[in-house]
């Protein structure tokens, strides 16, 4: 297992972090504890020392399950990360109660990494207004948490504001070879490196999309290494960035665990030749995008209830990555009244779209294609 030193913290956790948001599930939606525990035990046996969970994962059951399994190991043998559900917090007292609940769920007396969960501008302002940071510093002094950071989902300018506001122990962003200009992106990585704030990366495989690519794109990567999984290419691209200390992977089955363990057993950075192939794959994926919807939601609300950004997201994602099963699931989970075929062609959305998209025309095309696709 590869380990990376985090100099400012004086520790060297495993480069592969076990993300505890996507455990295998039973038919009723609960965690398949037998299989998930087997996966955790295998990961630990092969040297994984970092486990990342959060208050809402698996409807609140992830923390309980992780705590139960890790209780079987010496507390000093692993690093445990969880997150403050900022959206639930309306006072310092709320924060105290949530932390107490989380430590009880996890059956620990301290947390190694504690994150302010999914910060955006609104939540950051809320944190400042309630003076939650001073409370977190009290927890550090009391030994309840060891390291304080945040996970992030917003635009770069907000990331810059948050990251530059104080000397964080670490930060966590979504980063992969397709999301270089999304959220914090490349600029966020450079900023964290300049400020000497170590980085943890989530969504390195973009929620699984970069783990199963269309055959023609997979063939491009296999030119160099025919035996490597497409997921390993995505993980290695992220890990080639030296300030990335931990890469989280939300593993859903035993095979994914084994594949990731192989990738990190003796980590190999991406070569220049491999980087060119990844850029070729990324460029090809981008060219397959149906339209340039950015999800800004200026077009919302639609007078007739259509969820315009969601429909375009599904439509674009299917065209770009070819993941039919995922597209079908997302479309079927979209309420009938919010689907593209409910567009009444009023045109209100087009008057406010910053991208100047032909939304009515595109919704009509998306509706036709998704209807045909879902028949398959």
Residue 304 pLDDT: 95
Q: What would the CATH number be for the domain defined by 16-271?
A: 3.20.20.100
Reading the block at residue 306, the tokens are 């259509």
Over residues 36-45, the pLDDT tens digits come to 999 999 999 9
* Mean pLDDT computed over every residue of the chain: 93
| pTM of the shown model | 0.88
Whether the Cβ atoms of residue 304 and residue 346 lie closer than 8 Å to each other: yes
The SS3 of residue 198 is: coil
Residue 64 pLDDT: 97
311 has a pLDDT exceeding 60: yes
Over residues 235-266, the pLDDT tens digits come to 999 999 999 999 999 999 999 999 999 999 99
Residue 375 pLDDT: 64
Confidence at 323, pLDDT banded by 50, 70, 90: confident
**Domain boundaries of the chain, sorted by first residue:** 16-271, 308-373
Confidence at 326, pLDDT banded by 50, 70, 90: confident
Reading the block at residue 235, the tokens are 């993980």
- State the average pLDDT over residues 144-164: 95
CA 119 to CA 123: how far, in whole Å?
6
Over residues 101-120, the pLDDT tens digits come to 999 999 999 999 999 999 99
Q: Which residues pair with 149 in a beta bridge?
A: 115
298 has a pLDDT exceeding 90: no
CA 154 to CA 158: how far, in whole Å?
7
Confidence at 370, pLDDT banded by 50, 70, 90: confident
376 has a pLDDT exceeding 90: no
Q: Burial level of 349, CB count in 10 A (0-12/13-18/19+)? A: buried
Q: Which residues contact 89 (CB under 8 A, 6 or more apart)?
A: 95, 98, 126, 130, 132
Confidence at 374, pLDDT banded by 50, 70, 90: low
Nearest Cα residue to 265 out of 232, 242, 234: 232
295 has a pLDDT exceeding 90: no
CA 256 to CA 260: how far, in whole Å?
6
363 has a pLDDT exceeding 70: yes
Confidence at 190, pLDDT banded by 50, 70, 90: very high
Residue 225 pLDDT: 86
- State the average pLDDT over residues 53-60: 94
Percent pLDDT > 70 in the chain is 99
- State the average pLDDT over residues 258-276: 95
Confidence at 302, pLDDT banded by 50, 70, 90: very high
Percent pLDDT > 90 in the chain is 81
136 has a pLDDT exceeding 90: yes
Residue 369 pLDDT: 87
């Amino acid at each position: 297992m590869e380990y990376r030193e985090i100099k400012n913290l004086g520790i060297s956790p495993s480069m592969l972090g076990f993300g505890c948001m996507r455990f295998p599930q039973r038919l009723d939606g609960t965690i398949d504890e037998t299989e998930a525990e087997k996966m955790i035990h295998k990961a630990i046996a092969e040297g994984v020392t970092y486990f990342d969970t959060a208050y809402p994962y698996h409807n609140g059951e992830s923390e309980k399950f992780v705590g139960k399994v890790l209780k079987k190991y010496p507390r000093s043998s692993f690093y445990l990360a969880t997150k403050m559900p900022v959206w639930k917090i309306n006072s310092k007292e709320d924060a105290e109660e949530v932390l107490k609940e989380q430590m009880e769920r996890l059956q620990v007396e301290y947390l190694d990494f504690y994150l302010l969960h999914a910060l955006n501008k609104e939540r950051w302002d809320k944190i400042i207004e309630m003076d939650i940071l001073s409370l977190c510093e009290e927890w550090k002094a009391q030994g309840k948490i060891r390291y304080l950071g945040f996970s992030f989902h917003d635009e770069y300018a907000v990331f810059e504001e948050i990251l530059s506001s104080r000397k964080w122990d670490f930060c966590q962003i979504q980063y992969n070879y397709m999301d270089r200009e999304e959220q914090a992106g490349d600029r966020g990585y450079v900023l964290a490196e300049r400020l000497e704030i170590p980085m943890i990366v989530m969504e390195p495989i973009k929620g699984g999309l970069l783990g199963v690519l269309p055959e023609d794109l997979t063939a491009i990567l296999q030119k160099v290494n025919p035996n490597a999984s497409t997921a390993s290419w995505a993980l290695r691209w992220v890990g080639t960035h030296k300030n990335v200390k931990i890469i989280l992977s939300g593993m859903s089955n035993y095979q994914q665990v084994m594949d990731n363990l192989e990738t990190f057993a003796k980590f190999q950075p991406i070569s220049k030749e491999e980087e060119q192939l990844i850029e070729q794959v990324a460029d090809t994926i981008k060219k397959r995008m149906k339209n340039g919807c950015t999800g800004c939601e200026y077009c919302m609300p639609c007078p007739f209830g259509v969820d315009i950004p969601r429909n375009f997201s599904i439509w674009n994602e299917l065209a770009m990555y070819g993941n039919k099963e995922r597209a079908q699931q997302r479309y079927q989970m979209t309420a009938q009244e919010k689907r593209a075929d409910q567009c009444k062609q009023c045109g209100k959305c087009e008057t406010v779209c910053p991208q100047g998209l032909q939304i009515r025309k595109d919704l009509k095309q998306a509706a036709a294609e998704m209807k045909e696709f879902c028949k398959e």
